């Protein structure tokens, strides 16, 4: 199962903290999580002006609280997961959430353990750089953001990435 993810975080340095993460499967099921453990003073200007106003404010969780919630959502698919993201930061933060419940199988692959169950999760870069697929993906993402007005909201960014992937896959069959 392909699951598209996006993360919003405080800044782009080694001290960055996770603010929110959005997930949407290739079949359309989604999950949105906001996190505790960060402070607005840790955020750069872009995040304060663009990301924070879009937060839902819905029950922010600590990593230890979010970990079983996300694991149960992923396990419900009953198959291995390929996470697709447009940033290595997304994979990095995903791994951080599960660092105590995961075994590393390779550089871009982990096994997550939850309630005597195991699921394999691998990472794939959303690579839409080849013409004409880059234009198709770019158009799909921009049309999604124009429709929602919520670019840089983790779940909307994941939805836009899914839309781009679906449009590119459709174009490959033509």
CATH classification of the domain holding 56: 3.30.420.10
The tally of domains found in the chain comes to: 1
**In a domain? residue 66:** yes
Query: With bands split at pLDDT 50, 70 and 90, how would you rate the model's confidence at 72?
Result: very high
Contact 85, 125 (CB under 8 A): yes
According to DSSP, residue 54 is labeled G
Q: Is the residue at 104 inside a domain?
A: yes
User: CA–CA separation, 79 vs 99, rounded Å?
Assistant: 21
Residue 165, domain member (yes or no): no
CB 123 within 8 A of CB 46: no
Is the CA virtual torsion 40, 42, 47, 49 positive or negative? Answer: positive
Do residues 66 and 59 lie in contact, with contact meaning Cβ atoms separated by under 8 Å?
no
pLDDT computed for residue 97 by the predictor:
94
Stated pTM of the model: 0.95
Q: What is the mean pLDDT of the chain?
A: 95
Residue range of the domain that includes 61: 2-126
Confirm whether 122 is domain-assigned: yes
Reported as a pLDDT band with limits 50, 70 and 90, residue 128 is confident
């Amino acid at each position: 199962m392909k699951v598209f993810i996006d993360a919003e975080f405080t800044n782009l340095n080694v001290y960055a903290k996770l603010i929110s993460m959005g997930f949407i499967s290739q079949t359309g099921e989604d999950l949105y999580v906001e996190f505790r453990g960060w402070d607005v003073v840790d955020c750069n200007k872009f995040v304060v002006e663009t990301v924070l106003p879009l937060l839902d404010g819905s029950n922010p969780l600590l990593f230890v609280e979010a970990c079983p919630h996300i694991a149960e959502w992923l396990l419900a698919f009953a198959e291995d997961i390929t996470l697709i993201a447009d940033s290595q930061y997304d994979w990095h933060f995903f791994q951080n959430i599960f660092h105590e419940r995961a075994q590393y199988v390779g550089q871009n692959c982990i096994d997550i353990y939850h309630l005597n169950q195991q699921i394999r999760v691998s990472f794939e870069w959303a690579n839409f750089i080849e013409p004409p697929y880059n234009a198709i993906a770019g158009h799909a993402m921009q049309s999604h953001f124009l429709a929602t007005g919520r670019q840089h909201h983790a779940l909307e960014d994941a939805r836009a990435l899914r839309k781009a992937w679906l449009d590119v896959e459709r174009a490959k069959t033509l």
